[in-house]
Amino acid sequence: MRRTGIFYAQLGLTILLCLFIVIPIVMSALAGVTVNVFQGLSSGLTLRWIFEVWDLYASSIFLSLWLAVACLFVTLIAGVPLAYVLVRKPGRATRLFEELLTLPVAIPGLALALALLITYGGVSGYRSSWLFILTGHVLFTLPFMVRSVAAVMSAMDMKTLEEGAASLGAGFWRRFFTVIVPNAKPGILAGALMVVTLSVGEFNLTWMLHTPLTKTLPVGLADAYASMRLEIGSAYTLIFFVLIMPLLIAMQILANRGSKPARTTATAEDK
């Protein structure tokens, strides 16, 4: 197929936009392994800043990863059944509930954090615990899980699937876990990817809710840049990418694999 000038113009624009995004990330990563950030690579390479970040912020990094895993667990337990109810029982009440569910996404993170502080800030043990931050992360990410799963469930003929399973003697919970959940796997995996990504990188909400003992990775990164220690901040960013990118790539691969059966089934039905 002959390619026109418009194609090459679009390709060139795409490459320029990618470079515009990628180059600052590469420069920030390189700054984390150079002796002097202002002199650049000419000052030499070093791992000093990496080790210093690990010594100072290792607990913050592990806390962020733990919060992401805990947030994923809670949103899976709550989000999948909620999505099922919203799709299976459509009506005015469920639509109202869905709108209320998306409020934490619509309002600023600082406002949501302030509401949590006003309501639960007086509970000392809870306020100083990582569970307080987890509550904010769950409120913020739950709508993304519910919407992703509900979108896939809406495309399914759940009534027929459940009636078929019921005719074979399967009870409600067996139908839910062996029929509905496997067919909703693409939406669950897509929602899980969004939840983990948002939880690890969430700053506004976490900044208001954290304490000196519950400092997360984005808050520590902001502290490093605020203190004008650019080498530390850049090394912190590099560690962040090294930790989070393999996790996101693995989850993306799982999401792609999980969506293949759904596409195959759809193709077979179309035929």
Q: Is 164 part of any domain?
A: yes
Cα–Cα distance, 233 to 222 (Å, whole number): 8
pLDDT in tens, 25-53: 788 778 778 887 777 777 777 888 888 88
Q: Is 100 part of any domain?
A: yes
pLDDT in tens, 1-26: 566 778 778 888 989 988 888 888 78
Structural domain range at position 214:
57-270
Non-local (6+) Cβ contacts of 27 within 8 A are: none
Other CB atoms within 10 Å distance of the CB of residue 42: 8
Question: Domain holding 206: CATH number?
Answer: 1.10.3720.10
Give the pLDDT band of residue 65 (cuts 50, 70, 90). Answer: confident
Q: Is 148 part of any domain?
A: yes
- Could you tell me which of 266, 110, 80 has the C-alpha nearest to residue 181? 80
Q: What is the mean pLDDT of residues 179-191?
A: 87
Q: Is 5 part of any domain?
A: no
Q: Is 24 part of any domain?
A: no
Say how many domains are in the chain.
1
pLDDT in tens, 145-165: 998 898 888 888 877 888 888
The helix (run of H) or strand (run of E) holding residue 175 is helix 172-175
Q: Answer whether 256's CB lies under 8 Å from 249's CB.
A: no
Q: For residue 261, is pLDDT > 50?
A: no
